[in-house]
Each structure stands twice: as C-alpha cells, then as structure tokens.
Amino acid sequence: MYAVHIGNRRFRRSLVGYRRREVEDALDASDRALAEARAATEERERELRSRERELRSRERELGWQRKQIDELDRVAGLLAKRVVEHRKERDSLRAELADRRGEASDRADLRPAVQEPEGEFAEPRVVSENAMRRGLLVD
C-alpha cells in the first residue's frame, strides 16, 4: 500500500481504491468546516445588515442635525444684522440726544439762573450761566 496526497490530506490506497472510511471522514470534516464557514458568514452578514441599518439611521440623524445647524446659522445671521442695526440706531439716537443737550445748554446760557442765598436772611440772586462761569454776579 502506498499513500496519495490530495489537497492537505493523505489518503492510503487500498486494493481497489482509497479507504472508504478515511474518505468519508475527510468529507465529513470538510462538510463541518463548510457549515461552520457558512454559519460564520451568515452571522457576519447579519451583523453587516445591522450596521448598515445603524448607518442609515445615523445618516438620517446627521441630515436632521445639518438642517438644524443651517437654520441656527441663518437665525444667528439675522440676529447679528439686527444687533448691528440696533447699534446704529442707538448711536444715532445718542448723537441726536447730545445735539439736543448741546442746544439746551446753549439756551440755558442765555436764560438767567437763580443763585442760592448764602446767609439766613439773604435773598436769592438771578445770575446768568455765563456770569456764573466767569464769577460775575448780576442783580
């Protein structure tokens, strides 16, 4: 008897061919390996489908989040424009108020002011703003 190598297996020859028991054992082992490989492949395919579903779900969520971000960016832009407009309006109103205060103080310079009396029986004196600034008293 001599042995023949087929694939990774070594089969002994018998008078009429190969030993049937060894061939059946090899086929059974091959079938088991194929079944295990199929089971592992099916498990990996199930896992892959699960991950694909998870990815699609995350893609939908990311799409929604992108829309939210775009909307928030749009609102932030509008708010920034409004802030700039309000600041311009505020600065304009402050300038107008300063102009009016300047006009009012110019008119106040022309009208007489009452100076508080210093003594217990002193009478109040009327003094113009310019006179008060210069230290002059007018009766």
pLDDT at 139: 46
Convert the pLDDT of each residue in 26-46 to its tens digit. Answer: 888 889 999 999 999 999 999
Would strands 112-115 and 125-128 be described as parallel, antiparallel, or unpaired? antiparallel
User: From its phi and psi, is residue 135 left (phi > 0), alpha (psi between -120 and 50) or beta?
Assistant: left
- Pairwise CA distance, residues 44 & 38, whole Å: 10
E strand or H helix that includes residue 115: strand 112-115
Q: Is residue 8's pLDDT more than 90?
A: no
* pLDDT, greater one: 8 or 101: 101
